[in-house]
Structures are given as structure tokens and as C-alpha cells.
Chain A
Amino acid sequence: MATPDRVSYWNKTRGLMFVMLGLWVFFGYFIHLFAVPLNTIVIFGFPLGFYMAAQGSLIAFVVMLFWFARKQNSIDEEHNVAED
């Protein structure tokens, strides 16, 4: 079962998972640690710290998931394990 191709497939899949997890930590938590200083920057009436929690991070999550679906699919195809 554990052919070299399978091992490399899983390594790439795992790598992508960790990239996504990193982005998730960044947009879900890290950026909001700076909500107070970010709030001093105001764009179109939005304090930036508030904006990130109300919209910015949410947009990032949606974009991330569409990107992930495409990226994982191309890994599948490259390793010939995609569904027919």
C-alpha cells in the first residue's frame, strides 16, 4: 500500500493542511490580538480591528476554502488518485 507515490501524495496533502491551518490561526486568532491598535486605523468609517473581525477574516476563510478545494484537487490529479 505505502508505495513511494502514496507517501509523496500524503506528504503534499499534509503540507497543504498545515498551510491552511497556519492561515486559519492567523485570520482566526493572531490578527485579532492586535484589535486595539488596529482600531486606530479607520477606513471608510471602519476601525480596522473591528473590520477584520466583522468581515475581513470571514472573507479570508471563504477564499481559503475555494483555493484549498482547487489545490487539493490538483494534488490528487498529479498523483493519479483523483476520482474518475
Chain B
Amino acid sequence: MANTTATTAGGGDFTSNLGRIYGIYTGGFIAFIILMAILSAMGVPNRIIGYLFVAFTITIYAVIGILSRTMQVGEYYVAGRRVPAIYNGMATGADWMSGASFVGMAGTLYLLGYDGLAFVLGWTGGYVLVAILVAPYLRKFGAYTVPDFLSARYGGNLARFIGVVVLFSCSFTYVVAQIYATGIISARFLGLDFNVAVYVGLAGILVCSMLGGMRAVTWTQVAQYIVLIIAYLIPAIWMSTVKTGVPIPQLMQGQALASITALETAQNIATHHITPFVHGGYNALNYFLLILCLMVGTASLPHVLMRYFTTPSVREARVSVAWSLLFIFILYFTAPAYAAFAKWTMLDLVASGLTPENISEKAGWMMRWAAADGTLVQICGKAATDAAAIAAACAEKGVTALSFADINLNADMIVLATPEMAGMPYVISGLVAAGGLAAALSTADGLLLAIANALSHDIYYKMIDQNAPTARRLVVSRVLLVLVAIAAAYVASTKPGDILAMVSWAFSLAAAGLFPALVLGVWWKRTNSAGAVAGMIAGFGICLYYLLGTRYGAVGFYETWSGLSAAPADAIAKYAELKTAWASAAPDAQAAAWAALDKHAQTIANWWGVKNLSAAAFGLPVGFLVMIVVSRLTKEPSTAMQEFIEELRIPRGKQMMEEKTA
């Protein structure tokens, strides 16, 4: 293939031919899809088509990963700082859009309607903060990792160490979720056992990142972006064409929304898709706080920021943020359309006179998904595994004609099931699986690299052995990468429900722990080490306390802070009732009574009703406040440090941190 020869030909040649190489690659991928469609029409079984899709794409990533191997520190950590703005933008897009964005976002929008748009806004608007406040200045400094900058600006290893702790806590749960997603997709589409599938996913991740570090990850992420965006757009375009005759889903979404509203009214559904602040407990306060936490979190997540260390200049770093957002935007403004078309299809299905008897004939795909996992499709409150199960569940409830509310679809299956829902051929399902894998693998690569680089560069090289020779640093780096990856795959293989729920915590943790220190470090010269360290600990601490307290210590949290809880009177009465029940329960019933109490407490353990997802709503202001107050109370930074900041603000001049790279 063209890209393989060019990569071996060496850096300069490769970068000047990028357009041609990725153009051929994109054409090749489209030709492959057409080939699969032909094979499928000739009667090749679906299972084989699924295998071919996954095998073909992963082989390409592996080839790029192996050809980009390197033994140079600068190449390994920051891809030689030669990545042009537009390609870095594409790589950032793949790095950023996780398995959850690809698989789960449209599903969330399907379920939450308007209120799900908080995710769309939060995960795009954050790039404005990246561009104006942080990325260009970090690029000028010339760091290898985010903690590198903290250490240089706040004089020493304490700030560096806290940075590593925050980085690790927000990235590790995130990477576990990515590996879990690869496992789910491989299990569903390849029919592998989940435990095997997780390690297959792990292998797919390691071949991309281990030999070539950032350089290999960059070029595979570009390839993965192309796969995932094609895989996301095709089903949406298809649905739009089938439903409206116009192949522009984003535009025809308007017609879909109008139809949804009309169907909802006809079916007496009280909560309309388009009505703001009414779905899933998102009142206006929580809607806006979630947007804030996601945006600020975006501007603080190390695996995103480190992508801007790879551009050739400060100017390119700024342009690159704009390109990143454009590439991300293409998927994120399609997601609401995807959701609207899926909802329209479902409402239409219900309107066609759906009963427990005819559903297996009208929508057999639901039973196939329910058979794979009973939580994915529930009808009349029970897993819809086959016609008999549905008939039994509905008879029990006395339902003779199914309404929209009787059918409960899991958010994570909407995108993956859409091809079947809309009656598309299996090739599209294979394509969607390849796209979901590309999204999960590319994000996992970026996260693993962020963690392993922090451990090898910040902890091992900067804090333990400053005289380590280059070769040993790179070996340590790779060993750590593999160890972290195996640990993450092991955790994922245990199917940790809690960890998956914690993924969205990463944004709040990163926002509260890193954002004030990064922003004030550039924009307020008076910030000193004592202030930064105190602010990071306070912000991160409050955030962590709120997250863990409201989730794992809900009863204690509520008892301590009942005065601040936004619980309505009936919920408070119920709490008292459950507490009495627990206190008077017989010894063998005590565990169950406590579980009931704890479960209820989780719904009322809060400060002013803020959802625990938005914990940075407290961590962020506390972090800023402590940082400013402590900095004011202690000595101002040295003249040398003030000059360092002056220098940081000016694009001209060579980068400030020079590394021995030989």
C-alpha cells in the first residue's frame, strides 16, 4: 500500500506526501466497503463480513504502528513536533471521540432529547478554552507532558507529582471504559467470548502505540478518524434518504423533529423530545453546570492537551485547535440528527399498531439484541428475548397495544442497532462496528500514552533517575505502557459497572485538579508554587469528596449535609422511614434494609441539588479561590520566574524546555 512505503521513506518525505497518502487510504477504504457489499450480495455469511471489517482495519493500524517505530525520545514523546495543523486536528478528533461518543451519544440524545444536548455543547465548546487559554502557551513552553509544565512553572516536583496524580485518576478509569467498549463490540460482532475480546482489543491498542509512541499513535489516529467518520455518516445519510428522500441528515433533522412532535402529541406522550430541562432530572441548573464541567474538563484533560505538543509551531497549534473542533463537529452535529431519525422510526413503528403479538414480525431485531444482553431491550419491563417472553410480560401488565413507553431501549445500542432498525444490509452493521472500534482504540491509545508518559517521563526520569540514558528511558516507557494496558484490560474484563459510571467523572476531576493551575500559570504572574499546590489539592479534594461521598457514602454525606440538600419533603420523610426500618430490622434483614436506605440516600445526598456528574461546579471555584488567596498571602514569584512567564507569552523564540534527545 502507498502509505506503507511512504512511512518507511522517512519523516520529511512522509509529511510532504500526507495528502496523497491519506487520500489513497480513504479511497481504499471506500473500495473495501464496496467489495464487502458485493461479497455480501454473493452470499458470504454475515459473520465473515464482520471479521473482514475488523481484521482489515486493525491490520492497517498495526502496519502504520509498526512502520512508525522509533528510538528517538522526541519522536516517541511528541512525534518530532512535525505534525501539520490539519492532521493533528484529525488525530485529535479520533483521540477525543471515544467509544462512548460514537456508540453512546446518539443514544443519550434519543433518551434525553433536548437535555442530552448538554453533552454536544460541552464536548465542543471546551475547545474554545483550549485555544485561547492553554494550548498555544504549553506548545511554546515545549513540554513533553502536562506535569512537565506544572513543574517548571511552579518550581519543583511537588506540583509535578500532584499533576501526575490528577492525570492518573482521570485517565485510568477512562481507558478501562475504552477497552471495555472494544470488548463489547468485538464480542457482539465477532461472536468472541467477552474475556477473550478484551485482550484482543488490548493487542489492537498495543500494536499502535508501543513501538512508536506518539509518532505511531498520531498517524494511526488519523487513519482511525477517517474510518470512524465514514462509519458514522453513512447510516445517518441512509436513514435520512429513506425517510425524507434527501441525503443530508443534519438538515432534514428539522422534518424529523416536526414529525416526532406530531407523533408524540398523537400518542399522548407528555414529555416532548424538544422540550428543554425536563428529561432525566436535568433541570436548568444541572444542564448548565454539566456543560460547564464538560467544557472546562475538555480544556484540562492531558491526553487532549498533549496532542498540541506535536505541532511545528505555536501558530500551528492555534490553527490545529480550530481544525480539531471542525473534525469533531462533523460527528457531533450529526449525532442529534441520528437520534431524531431513530426516534422518528420508533414512533412510526408504534403508530403502525404495534402489539405484543406482531412485534416479533415487525421488529425482530429487538429480540436479537435482547437475546445477546437482556438489559438492552426491555418490553413491558422484562427482557424481550423472544415473542413468548414479550407476550408473557405484557399479559402480566395487561398491555394489549404497545405504547412508546413500553419499549425500553438502552442508550448504548441505538447507534449499533440503527442499521437493523432501518432495515439496512449487514455491510452497514460491519462498517459501524469497525467505526466503533476505531473510536474506542484511538482514544485508548491516547490515554495510555498520556499515563505511560507521565509515569516514565515525570516519575521515573525527572523524579527518580535524572541521569538515565535515552535508551533506558524508552524501554522503561514501553514496559510501563504494557503494564498499564494489561492492568486496564484486567479491570475491564471484570465488567466493573462502577468504573463505567465513573468515566464521566474524569471531566470534573481534570477540571478541578488542573484547570486553575494551567490557566493562572499563564495568565496571572502572581501565582506562586504555594498557591498552585494548595489550589490543586483543594479543588481536586473537594471534587473527589463530592463524587465519592454522594456515590459511596451517601448516607453519611446526607446526614452531614442535610441542610444543603435539595431533597423535597416527601423524599426526606421516606429517608426517615427507611432509616427507622434499618434500625429496627432483624439482624438477617439488616443488609437489605441498609441497601434500600443507601439507594434512596444517593438520590438526596447533594449540595443544592447538583448532580454528582458536575462535581467540578464546586471543585473549580474552590481551586481558583484557594490558588489566588494563598498566592496573595505568600511571596511573589522570583524575577526569573516572571521573565519565564513573559517569555512563555511570546510565540517568537525557541521553545523553552530543551531536552537531550540523543
Contacts and interface: CB of A to CB of B under 8 A. Distances in A.
Decide whether A and B are members of one complex.
yes
A46 B333 CA distance: 14
Contact of A82 (B292, B322, B336, B651): B651
Contact of A28 (B125, B333, B647): B125
B138 interface: no
A58 B642 CA distance: 37
Interface stretch (B116-124, B424-432, B488-496, B593-601): B116-124
Interface string A24-66: 1001110011011001001111110111011101110110111
Interface in B276-326: 276-277, 284, 287-288, 291-292, 295, 313-315, 318-319, 321-322, 325-326
A69 B16 CA distance: 23
Contacts of A28: 121, 125, 128, 291, 295
Interface string A1-29: 11000100110011011001101100111
Contacts of B314: 83
B128 A24 contact: yes
A54 B336 contact: yes
B24 interface: no
A81 to B, nearest CB: 5
B333 A69 contact: no
Contacts of B332: 58
Contacts of B256: 45
Interface string B23-38: 0000000000000000
B288 A57 contact: no
Q: Which of B132, B254, B257 has the most CB of A within 10 A?
A: B132
B76 interface: no
B48 interface: no
Contacts of B274: 39, 47, 49-50
Contacts of B120: 53-54, 58
Q: Which of B128, B257, B287, B646 has the most CB of A within 10 A?
A: B128
Given A36-B276, A61-B125, A65-B322, A10 B114 contact: no
B325 A68 contact: no
B131 A1 contact: no
B649 interface: yes
Given A32-B288, A39-B274, A39-B276, A50 B322 contact: no
B121 A68 contact: no
B574 to A, nearest CB: 31
A69 B318 contact: yes
B322 A69 contact: yes
Contacts of B276: 32, 35-36, 39, 49-50
B329 interface: yes
B253 A64 contact: no
Interface in B646-662: 646-647, 649-652
B650 A58 contact: no
A9 B649 CA distance: 10
A69 B131 contact: yes
A76 B254 contact: no
B133 interface: yes
B132 A54 contact: no
Contact of A27 (B125, B250, B325, B643): B125
Given A17-B133, A45-B254, A72-B318, A61 B333 contact: no
A84 B251 CA distance: 43
Contacts of B523: 14, 17
B322 A66 contact: yes
A68 B643 contact: no
A29 B291 contact: yes
Interface in B122-161: 124-125, 127-129, 131-133, 136
A62 to B, nearest CB: 5
B121 A53 contact: yes
A81 B133 CA distance: 18
Given A2-B646, A73-B318, A83-B314, A65 B257 contact: no
A9 B652 CA distance: 12
B114 A50 contact: yes
Contact of B128 (A13, A20, A44, A72): A20
B556 to A, nearest CB: 34
Nearest to A79: B650
Interface string B537-572: 000000000000000000000000000000000000
B243 to A, nearest CB: 12
Q: Which of A16, A43, A49, A62 has the most CB of B within 10 A?
A: A62
Contact of B322 (A13, A24, A68, A81): A68
A57 B114 contact: no
Contacts of A43: 254
B8 to A, nearest CB: 31
Contact of A61 (B128, B319, B646, B649): B128
Given A39-B274, A39-B276, A54 B333 contact: yes
Given A13-B649, A24-B125, A35-B276, A55 B322 contact: no
A35 B114 contact: yes
B458 to A, nearest CB: 27
A70 B286 CA distance: 35
Contact of B124 (A17, A44, A61, A73): A61
Nearest to B133: A17
Contacts of B251: 44
A68 to B, nearest CB: 6
Contact of A55 (B131, B287, B291, B333): B333
Closest 7 CB pairs of A and B: A45-B254, A65-B322, A45-B258, A53-B117, A44-B254, A35-B276, A54-B336
Given A45-B257, A58-B333, A62-B322, 19 more contacts: A10-B649, A17-B523, A21-B132, A28-B295, A29-B288, A29-B292, A45-B255, A49-B274, A53-B117, A55-B250, A57-B125, A61-B124, A65-B325, A68-B322, A69-B318, A69-B321, A73-B318, A80-B652, A82-B651
Interface of B: 114, 117, 120-121, 124-125, 127-129, 131-133, 136, 250-251, 253-258, 274-277, 284, 287-288, 291-292, 295, 313-315, 318-319, 321-322, 325-326, 329, 332-333, 336, 523, 642-643, 646-647, 649-652
Interface of A: 1-2, 6, 9-10, 13-14, 16-17, 20-21, 23-24, 27-29, 32-33, 35-36, 39, 42-47, 49-51, 53-55, 57-59, 61-62, 64-66, 68-69, 72-73, 76, 80-84
22 contacts: A1-B647, A16-B132, A17-B132, A20-B132, A28-B128, A28-B291, A29-B292, A35-B277, A43-B254, A45-B254, A45-B257, A49-B274, A53-B121, A54-B117, A55-B336, A57-B121, A64-B128, A66-B319, A68-B131, A69-B315, A81-B652, A83-B652
